[in-house]
Amino acid sequence: MSDLARRYLCIAALMVAGLLGAWTAWESSVAHRRGQPGSDRTIWAGLALVYIVLAQTRLARVLGWLKGLGAWLRLVAKDHHLYAGRRPFQVAATIAIAVLVVALLAIGIASAWDYIKRYRLAIGFAGIAVGFGLIRFISLHEVDAWSRELPWVRDAAELVAAVGASSVAALRLAQLRSEPGAPPADQIGR
């Protein structure tokens, strides 16, 4: 698969995750109005927004609309004397983001068995994509070199995040669309 095809596949997967998140937020809102458990609508709407913004940012990058942004930010940092001593901050921020992503994913995995609070797992998956993007934005030299050596890792991280969140959203949609009073779709047969 070509590099460009991989990038567009990631954009499409992120958009699907965003649209499924928006649909789940809508169905949660409808369920809440009917008196069913549906208080997670705001969280799903936020997740949908995150995935749609990620997809649009990635599309802008693929289309070349963000060229020069890094150089401009570097120039602003140099003007404010923030560029020369940046390495300790880059290392600390990279470690903090990595720890936060692992914590979000662990909390999500631990919450996966609660069919209403499964959105925590979707948040953990979103953390993978957002965390990877933030670490790349920090531009630590070692991470940049690793990213140049293995350019497919970013795509893999975004695909895992999008597929994971889409799966969780689909499970929540199935549970919300089941008949009132019926067991949730993923609890049938237990």
Note the pLDDT tens digit of each residue in 94-114.
Answer: 899 999 999 999 998 888 777
- Residues 11 and 5: their CA atoms lie apart, in Å, by 10
Chain-centre distance for alpha carbon 100: 13
Q: What is the pLDDT of residue 73?
A: 80
Q: What is the pLDDT of residue 143?
A: 78
Listed in sequence order, the residues at least 6 apart from 105 whose beta carbon sits closer than 8 Å to its beta carbon are 124, 125, 127, 128
Q: What's the whole-number mean pLDDT along residues 76-88?
A: 82
State the burial class of residue 58 (Cβ atoms within 10 Å of its Cβ: 0-12, 13-18, 19+). buried
Note the pLDDT tens digit of each residue in 133-184.
Answer: 888 888 777 777 777 788 888 888 999 999 999 999 999 898 888 756 545 5
Q: What is the pLDDT of residue 78?
A: 84
